[in-house]
A and B are shown apart, each in its own frame.
Chain A
């Protein structure tokens, strides 16, 4: 293994691009990497439960997926930033507002990082937050329903990458702009030449307040920052509770060919933000109100409907004036990960192109600030002296460090993209103690509870970017590959490969016991406040408002009420408001109509969903239940008659209330 590793260093040093392109460079023989008892360690027998939920971002599918650990079994894909025809998310009238933005309806995004809610720095199993990277957004998912409950757009941001990481009591989620740009403050002029980056492009990091009872988000304040790229972030813990740390690259302030131009300097920055001070200043009115536009979308579990509101103001704090809220710390070579250990004392920067992992000391940072141990200013913000804030460096840990997680036993685990490995090192001593290959090109990694005060440990999961020959091939496009390692002993042991959907970036894992007992089984029909609910078959009806036809329909095993509708005319918009009357776990009903230009709707027990349908021709159209609900699912169907414009067919509806004699006498 060691020899392989040395070989890799040489190879990489000589020709990193060649390494990236070559499928032939494997860190070691994957067959020998697995020990004989691996299968029994990940085997979860039929009917048994996994120990952990693994909440995994979906990357370019814009969703979040839920796996079990250690089995690697996929349980659910939760639609968040992207439409999902399977459930009707983003297609139903109730969920369309969830995808509204200041740019209008945006039915896709790129979801990168998971932030599970915490209390006192430990998982509390209430919410999962996830960022939308492209049209900057943060979403909150309820871990009782595993549904997206809220999405807030981030103004003054382009590329919400360093997000949605949370403070220790989930006071705030953060959002740092990846792309600096001429901000969208409507009082400034964003129409500037691209090559005026240094003069006109700015960055921000935003703090989104989270209501401790409801989880509701609000944009509390933003910090105006020099034009650089903000990449990742972590909150302080314990003694560093009041602080937040962000990695920054492209301090060269390049606006083109960043591949080369953002790698010029020896050091970029890790930025330390005193968010408690910021909060005080914001409350004291020391921020400037800036005119912006952003959407705030909230899903109401009682009306089963989302609303979207456009907000128009944000409070911006300027660290050039508020001198004690932001400090830069030099960090080698385009840092990506910026991770804080469970004690809150150590902050690890992972320079993508660095040959060391610098570990900063929070107590040294505090002393350096007190001593004004500054080496320079960057756009009016003090830069602390590297040596004054450094705990030490892990020398030659591997190539292409990206992210670090912690086991709570004094060890850090860092992913290395270029050398395709996870390296375990001692935080205090800065010594590498173990390394394992990953297959291939690991990005993020996850230890259950790894970003909390009390990691649950036990496993580390690698989320690999390159799959190639790990599974049966499926043409040019391959599923992404995750790998599970046992970290309960001194040495990491590969246990399992499992495929993942989309392209997972960050993930968190949480003990099932924190979520499982709270899982909602159905929605209470008597609490359904949907404006078009039919709480029983007697409330089912069809009525017309101009050219809009509203169908208040019910579904229960195994029929719709009504299931025969006449009097719809060409030019009408038909709204099927379908209420699932079931009060039974895992009995959704689906609804689909021929020719609908959207999707099906999948209605949970007790819920009402609405599908809009504009028939394009005269005829009789079938409707049916799309979810195999019962033995007579295939009988769960009906018809809608569409007559020509101006037809005198009256609006009528029915469901056979007299059963015809069936069957034959024995």
Chain B
């Protein structure tokens, strides 16, 4: 697997089994008594101690700003902060750039929210698929109701033809970074 990937994601991967980032006993940033827990969904839980969830990992990646913007526009931030377990195929900014000009901007418009959500949910499976669990020709059901076909050839993994270029573990699932956006068939 080509590890031309990002520093924050690599950090998160290392952090999974240890090193100093995950601190159990140090006081977390907390609100004072009588003040509110956030009124938002699970994504707004104040927790700087736990291993990062999918959304926090993606937010920490400079290469996934488009994906993060889209996830926010489709109001899927809380969903992907849920307990999971998820497998997310995460297209890079470059992958989005390969779409026809104006496609992303169009999908980000409020009236296209459902279409955007459908596309993003096509990148999410409920279950953790580790790289070694994929087989050539394997069909995986996605959250939008569709399915993708995995390819495994010469140690390289593809999903609907897009290359998996890196894999990152998050607290509530796993991220496979891909170089093309998956479009529901």
Contacts and interface: CB of A to CB of B under 8 A. Distances in A.
Interface string A510-545: 011100111111111111000000011000000000
Nearest to B33: A512
Interface of A: 45, 47-52, 144, 511-513, 516-527, 535-536, 557-559, 582-585, 587, 606, 629-632, 657-659, 661-666
Contact of B184 (A47, A144, A518, A666): A666
A630 B138 CA distance: 24
Given A49-B34, A521-B50, A662 B172 contact: no
B37 A584 contact: no
B61 interface: no
Given A516-B33, A525-B17, A584-B53, 9 more contacts: A45-B36, A520-B24, A557-B128, A558-B128, A582-B171, A659-B133, A661-B137, A663-B147, A665-B149
B155 interface: no
Interface in B155-173: 171-173
Nearest to B30: A517
Contacts of A50: 33
B24 A522 contact: yes
B39 A47 contact: yes
A517 B185 contact: no
A658 B28 CA distance: 39
B147 to A, nearest CB: 5
Interface string B125-160: 011110011110111110001110100000000000
Interface string B1-26: 00000000000000011110011110
A516 B137 CA distance: 51
A516 B33 CA distance: 8
B139 A49 contact: no
Contacts of A526: 17-19
Interface string B102-115: 00000000000000
Given A521-B47, A583-B50, A666 B147 contact: yes
B30 to A, nearest CB: 5
A517 B27 contact: yes
Nearest to A581: B17
Nearest to A605: B50
Contact of A663 (B16, B30, B51, B141): B141
B133 A657 contact: yes
Contact of B83 (A513, A587, A606): A587
Contacts of B60: none
Contacts of B185: 666
A270 B129 CA distance: 69
B78 interface: no
A524 B139 contact: no
Given A49-B36, A521-B24, A658-B135, A631 B84 contact: yes
Contacts of A587: 83, 171
Nearest to B51: A583
Given A524-B18, A525-B17, A631 B33 contact: no
Contact of B138 (A523, A558, A585, A661): A661
A523 B31 contact: no
A487 B7 CA distance: 56
B134 A659 contact: yes
A659 B136 CA distance: 11
Contacts of A45: 36
Contacts of B28: 517, 521
Contact of A585 (B49, B127, B145): B49
Contacts of A536: 17
A48 B36 contact: yes
Nearest to A52: B33
A583 B171 contact: yes
Given A49-B37, A584-B171, A632-B127, A657 B22 contact: no
A522 B51 CA distance: 10
